[in-house]
Chain A
Amino acid sequence: MAFVDVRNLWKRYPGKTVLENVRLRVDEQEFVTIVGASGCGKTTFLRMLLGEVEPCQGVIEIDGERLVPEPRADRGVVFQRYSVFPHLNVLANVLLGLDFGASALLGRTFGRRRALDIERAERMLDRVGLLSSAKNYPAELSGGMQQRLALAQTLITEPGILLLDEPFGALDPGIRADMHDLVRELHRELGLTVFMVTHDIAEGFSLGSRLLVFDKPRIDPHEPDLYGATITFDLPVGQRPDVDSVVNSINVRQEA
């Protein structure tokens, strides 16, 4: 049985179908990248996996259990922006997940438990290369460092699934390459199952183990919102499949 099993998933808004009949089976530790034209529903799909958006129809099962439409600790997330808390310094941002788990009433830890948590958080910060900035506030960090922090903050609670919503879209190319290495390493080390939405097709091909393309198989020219998008290509990457045809089909759609 697949780890993540998506069956017959639909999302409609009044007068607009976003996603239709999405089917997907993903095994544990796969690295799935998701590309597609703007507004094709790839972020909507990610938000449904997150539990933030409820599907109109269809089922998402994770590890055999039906997904509750609410964000949960088994699925970590990093957004393009606003992923970290501006009022907490870097260390406190990473500690927050441990605090939540430890104290229902006060939402933070004290004494010996705190010292152990701080040690653990510092190891995580060291892993993503932010230990020297532990006392800084997020606003004092560069965009790349903020995303490193967002990763550390998410991974400290050891989610099995990592959802990335264009996490590197706002970064410079050099920084982005560093972040790719970091994500690749973390994926391997922690045995994560990753879903990453990206605008950057090259990133989609190079980073993951599997590439999904969201696109509309049918279009009514008089009513373009009538039909929704679905997964039109599902490719194992690394084997260099017919890259050009995929890129062309996306480019054609983006120009349309």
Chain B
Amino acid sequence: MRLLNRRPGNVGSLVSAAMPFALALVVYVAASGVRLADNPDDKLLPSLSTIGEAVERVAFEPDRRTGDIILWSDTAASLQRLLIGIAVAALVGLAVGVPNGLLPWFGAFWSPWVRALSMIPPLAILPILFIAFGIGELAKVMLIVLGTAPFLMRDVEQRVRELPREQLVKAQTLDGTTWQIALRVVLPQVLPRLVDGVRLSLGSAWLFLIAAEAIASTDGLGYRIFLVRRYLAMDVILPYVAWITLLAFALDFALRKLNRRCFPWYGA
């Protein structure tokens, strides 16, 4: 049998998927052991038990200075910024993308502007945001909005343009007005595609969040990582990175489930 026709079964898939993770762990433990044998005070590759202690300290014990449990207060601060930013970006994407794709005159006016806007590297204007909005929450949320909204606007516009011409003509023969067609024909079909667009832009939203927190913040997951970097506290950084990865995965998973549940006709 050709290699391209050999498929793993259920158990095979599970084992195959787990293998690289296990392998990475094994390699880490081995490398960490070698370094620690050389120098017990090595901070670069802490042992699993050191990491465990650090996790217990940040995730289960109140901080001595503030009384908060650091991991949870950081997570709450970061998720709040991320979710507000991405929600605003999605609304803007919808509010600009739908008319851009549906109304030729609107598109003629705004479409080139959106295309130009989306070419600006968002991190390059981060200083402008800090100057304009101060170093509070607003600037960080705005970075996420400015970083993801142009993509979502263009994506939604494209999805609207992809709707078959026949559907729009048909809706007109049923006497739909522009507004009714946008509301009943275009919008419901664009929503699940918007959710897919949001899933794709979550990666860059995290990037902008952590960048903003690293530069000007007093809490948040990105802030913590860059703070403890000064003490080479790999035992905190590594679990934080794993935690961020897990959060990103959970958000993606939740959005996928949302699409399945709310739009059963989509992707069928």
Interface residues in chain A, defined as those with a beta carbon under 8 Å from any beta carbon in chain B: 50, 52, 70-73, 75-77, 79, 81-87, 96-97, 99-101, 104-108, 137-140, 150, 153-154, 157, 159
- Contact of A101 (CB < 8 Å), options: B165, B175, B266: B175
Residue B189 lies at the interface, judged by CB distance under 8 Å to chain A: yes
| B265 and A100 within 8 A (CB) | no
Specify which chain A residues have a CB less than 8 angstroms from the CB of B172 in the assembled complex.
Answer: 70-72
| B177 and A87 within 8 A (CB) | no
- Contact of B184 (CB < 8 Å), options: A70, A99, A140, A159: A99
How many B residues touch A, CB cutoff 8 Å?
25
- Contact of B180 (CB < 8 Å), options: A107, A139, A157: A107
Given contacts A104-B180, A150-B170, 16 further A-B contacts (CB under 8 A): A71-B169, A79-B166, A82-B164, A85-B167, A85-B171, A85-B189, A99-B180, A100-B175, A100-B176, A106-B183, A107-B179, A107-B183, A137-B268, A138-B265, A153-B170, A157-B174
| A100 and B266 within 8 A (CB) | no
> Mostly helix, strand, loop or mixed at chain B's interface?
helix
Specify which chain B residues have a CB less than 8 angstroms from the CB of A84 in the assembled complex.
Answer: 170
What CA separation (Å) do A189 and B179 show in the bound complex?
A: 34
- A251 to chain B minimum Cβ distance, whole angstroms, is 30
- B131 to chain A minimum Cβ distance, whole angstroms, is 43
- Contact of A73 (CB < 8 Å), options: B173, B189, B266, B268: B173
B166, B171, B177, B183 — most chain A CB neighbours (10 Å) = B166
| A71 and B177 within 8 A (CB) | no
| B174 and A96 within 8 A (CB) | yes
| B166 and A75 within 8 A (CB) | no
Give the 10 A-B residue pairs with the shortest CB-CB distance, closest first.
Answer: A71-B172, A73-B175, A82-B164, A97-B174, A82-B166, A107-B180, A137-B265, A139-B268, A107-B184, A100-B176
User: Closest residue to B164 on the A side, CB-wise?
Assistant: A82
Given contacts A108-B184, A139-B265, contact A100 B174 (CB under 8 A): yes
Specify which chain A residues have a CB less than 8 angstroms from the CB of B165 in the assembled complex.
Answer: 82
Interface string of B253-268 (1 = CB under 8 A from A): 0000000000111101
User: Closest residue to A138 on the B side, CB-wise?
Assistant: B265
- Contact of B170 (CB < 8 Å), options: A70, A83, A105: A83
Interface string of B177-214 (1 = CB under 8 A from A): 10110011100110000000000000000000000000
